[in-house]
Structure 1
């Protein structure tokens, strides 16, 4: 198993907590805030810790930040916290994924691009799910499997509309 499995399981909050536009905005802003804080607080620690100790420090810091986020949501935005359920706690996974997968050079540029993509994907998924569930009456759009199917369709549309970066002479060869 490679370390990229963290990226796949990081989709759980995105798929579970984007039933409405409000939930999509809330979970994406929480993810951006949490990941940004985690990277900002880990920056001074990386140079002083060994690789194994850095991983443990990252996990401990992530658990602390996620717990503070969850308690803050329950204290100041209880109806939203009840709608989001336990999905804000799963935002620890993208933090750990960013810590393990981002290279040391151009780290923050890639992080900002990734968080921007998460924000756009979350908003698109929330808008589509709410429109499909409320306006068209498709009940599957409110469920997690429907969100996974819709995310696949949105990614397929993105790949279709995005200009190809591969040269035409290399398309058929290995």
Structure 2
């Protein structure tokens, strides 16, 4: 088992479970991830050749924290309620950037990077959609947080009784993710030995 890849996957699990209680939160955090990681990749690509090897880690930490802070401030100006809802999950993107850099992610080809971004986005948005549908029985519950949305937007209500509240909490996210992984394993053909 490759330790850096395990660390990377574990770090991606935190926002996957914590920030996907609604579709808007999941999609927003994924966009935030894409912006910060790509800006970090460009920045560290310029800085790395100019630094001694002992300065790579401090420089990458400083760059990642700076980019995350700038994006957080922009998110506060753009959609304050959404940014407050995300809490510390936006700041964890800085840690993911450092781990991605340590695992050599930015030296890979663009299709390999794009595959990771799309996979992470699909998981985030899919889990956010399912958790909102099951937990609140709504779709687009927090669209009013975004600029340009109607102020009194209440979402598309699918059931007047609400949903299974557990699905919007972190334990419900783990349970739903476990069920999705089990379903995926059941549908995949068994590997031949």
1:146 aligned residue: 172
TM-score (norm. length: structure 2)? 0.76
CA drift of 1:153 comes to 2.3
User: Counterparts in 2 of 1:48-67, with a 5 A limit?
Assistant: 48-67=50-69
CA drift of 1:98 comes to 1.1
User: Counterparts in 2 of 1:22-101, with a 5 A limit?
Assistant: 22-101=24-103
Contact 1:19 1:142 in 2 (8 A): yes
Count of residues in Structure 1 that have an aligned counterpart in Structure 2: 167
SS in 2 for 1:85: helix
Which 5+ residue runs of structure 2 have no aligned equivalent? 138-161
SS in 2 for 1:5: helix
In 2 relative to 1, CA 103–121 (structure 1 residues): closer, same or farther, beyond 3 Å? closer
Contact 2:100 2:106 in 1 (8 A): no
Contact 1:66 1:89 in 2 (8 A): yes
Cα separation, 1, equivalents of 2:117 and 2:60: 18
CA RMSD of aligned residues (A): 2.3
Higher helix share: 1
In 2 relative to 1, CA 96–88 (structure 1 residues): closer, same or farther, beyond 3 Å? same
Which consecutive aligned stretches of 4+ in structure 1 deviate over 6 angstroms post-superposition? none
CA drift of 1:27 comes to 0.7
CA drift of 1:107 comes to 4.1
SS in 2 for 1:10: helix
In 2 relative to 1, CA 52–24 (structure 1 residues): closer, same or farther, beyond 3 Å? same
TM-score (norm. length: structure 1)? 0.84
- Larger RCO (CA under 8 A, 6+ residues apart): 1
CA drift of 1:29 comes to 0.7
